[in-house]
Chain A
Amino acid sequence: SQQGEEDPQALSIQEGENATMNCSYKTSINNLQWYRQNSGRGLVHLILIRSNEREKHSGRLRVTLDTSKKSSSLLITASRAADTASYFCATGGMNRDDKIIFGKGTRLHILP
């Protein structure tokens, strides 16, 4: 299906370390987005990468996309306590009628 699945489901790392989350999907996509959600709040858009792009950067965030493996990764460098949140990938299908579909998310906890 178009729906992305994040891996791992939960991740705990020490503050200052890098955090890597992965997203896999099964059908071809037009683009892939990453969102962050703090506990009980709305989602915040982080970055969008299109199917013809391989890598994008935004501040401490680095996103890669490998369409041959149907996977994407989100790397957060030099993690901070404020990075504690759930992270979701959202895939956009190839057809114009396709809506973006969210995965179940990775819960990231940054330890002090």
Chain B
Amino acid sequence: ETGVTQTPRHLVMGMTNKKSLKCEQHLGHNAMYWYKQSAKKPLELMFVYSLEERVENNSVPSRFSPECPNSSHLFLHLHTLQPEDSALYLCASSQDAKREPQETQYFGPGTRLLVL
């Protein structure tokens, strides 16, 4: 175990549903990340938070809405998704994204999302 947990592990939702993905890290890190992993594509960075402040938003559609209430918890709120949003969504954490943005990241097991 890497110290990063994600729930749920699997999620099936319709295009009109609203759901949320949850990530929690037990490592005392200050930075958390959301990634999208689709088949045959590189890992795509979606959002970066450092000390609960968003520092990176890689032009992600507004149907994905992140929330970071504290440095240990990260959410990804989903609404009116499209079938092409089906993917594995990975959460990661690192010591401090501002002080050392390229340091080792610790990943959760991911949420496998299927949008029908």
Contact = CB atoms under 8 A, between A and B. Distances in A.
Contacts of A102: 42-43
Given A40-B112, A41-B110, A99-B45, A31 B102 contact: yes
Nearest to B100: A96
Given A42-B4, A43-B90, A99 B101 contact: yes
B41 A104 contact: yes
Contacts of B103: 48
Given A104-B41, A104-B42, A44 B2 contact: yes
Contacts of B92: 42-43
A100 B102 contact: yes
Number of contact residues on A: which range applies? 20 to 34
9 contacts: A40-B110, A41-B109, A42-B92, A42-B110, A43-B105, A44-B107, A92-B101, A99-B45, A101-B45
Interface in B21-78: 40-43, 45, 48, 56
Contacts of A30: 102
B18 to A, nearest CB: 25
B62 to A, nearest CB: 21
A102 B2 CA distance: 19
Interface of A: 3, 30-31, 33, 35, 40-45, 48, 88, 92-93, 96-104
**Chain A interface, DSSP helix/strand/loop, else mixed:** strand
Interface of B: 2, 4, 6, 40-43, 45, 48, 56, 88, 90, 92, 101-110, 112
Contacts of B109: 41-42
B12 to A, nearest CB: 15
B24 to A, nearest CB: 13
Given A31-B102, A40-B112, 6 more contacts: A41-B109, A42-B4, A44-B2, A44-B107, A48-B104, A92-B101
A42 B107 contact: yes
Contact of A100 (B90, B105, B110): B105
Nearest to A50: B102
Contacts of A101: 42, 45
A70 B34 CA distance: 28
